[in-house]
Amino acid sequence: MSRATAEVRVGCVAYHPRIVTIWESFLGWFEAQGSRPTTSCTPTTSGRSAHCSPARSTSPGTRTLAFVAAEQQLGGEARILGMRDVDAEFATVIVTRRGETFEDAPALAGRRLALGSRDSGHAAILPLHYLREQGLDAETACELVRFDTDLGKHGDTGDSELRVVRAVADGTADAGALGETTLAALRAERVPAVADLEVSWRSPTYYHCNFTALPSLDDGVAQRWLDALLAMSYDDPSQRQAMDLEGVKRWLPGDRDGYSALAEAMAAGAPST
């Protein structure tokens, strides 16, 4: 296969300087695997770019929302070329102040519920979807307190989730939805706002980011990409820093199963961008 047909243009959403650091390391890894399936990384600031690249492209870290939107645009034929281990067990939690928990979803009725950016799958769309499945239409039964910051980045900056926990901590909201991994990170960083909060509700698990490619990507190129990805090891000191920054310890092949809830929510009228 010629170099021209083996090349893959990679696009990433550089919402934080560390993204460039991560991908400089990752691209070096892929090039070192022999066939050079990756030749460039083009940082962008728009969530749309995650699924609008030319033919033969793959988009790293495509968010839940962007992936489902890509599936819709491509008639269900978007290709998944792998995902992080953490993305296979994602969940949303609702936190309350200590001692103010609730027993089940309907018990939230009448309370002020803080949500992250309206285009965030994990901090807005999916919590509303899962609460509805469990008997609470929060959009009519609760007073929603929305923090629509960094729209277009699908909640990945974490800014709106930090505002959610601050709102619950200071009494502006009675409860707040955010990603379980975000809460863990805030606790690890000892952010004061989470000190007196506790988890009152946890959603079913779902998938988060993945590597998405157009269906026109050559099968051989796609397989080499996946093989190189799965060969990346956290035990390799040259890769550990970048993998830590990316929040991954092991790469997985990935599939569509964990995106069904978001697809249903979006089909019911949730934002697609």
Q: Looking at residue 106, what DSSP letter applies?
A: G
**For residues 66 and 119, what is the distance between their CA atoms, to the nearest angstrom?**
10
Residue 148 sits in the same domain as residue 235: no
Confidence tier at 209 by pLDDT (50, 70, 90): confident
pTM of the model: 0.77
Looking at the fold, whether 111 and 174 belong to one and the same domain comes out as yes
Over residues 247-273, the pLDDT tens digits come to 899 999 988 888 889 888 887 876 544
Tokens at 175, concatenated: 């409860």
Q: What is the CATH number of the domain that holds 257?
A: 3.40.190.10
Q: Residue 34's domain spans which residues?
A: 3-87+207-267
For residue 147, the 8-state DSSP code is -
148 is written with which tokens?
A: 């629509």
Element (H, E) at 120: none
Q: Where are the alpha helices (DSSP H) in the chain?
A: 3-6, 17-32, 64-73, 126-133, 138-141, 159-170, 180-188, 219-231, 237-246, 260-267
Give tens-digit pLDDT for 33-43.
754 544 444 54
Determine the Cα angle at 70 with ends 151 and 244, to 5°: 65
Is residue 139 assigned to a domain?
yes
Query: The tokens 């090039």 sit on which residue?
Result: 31
**Digit-coded pLDDT (tens) for 152-163:** 554 455 678 999
The DSSP secondary structure of 71-105, one letter per residue, reads HHHTTT-PEE--EETGGGGB-EEEEEETT---SSG
- Claim to verify: residue 175 and residue 232 sit in the same structural domain: no
How far is residue 164 CA from its own chain's centroid?
A: 17
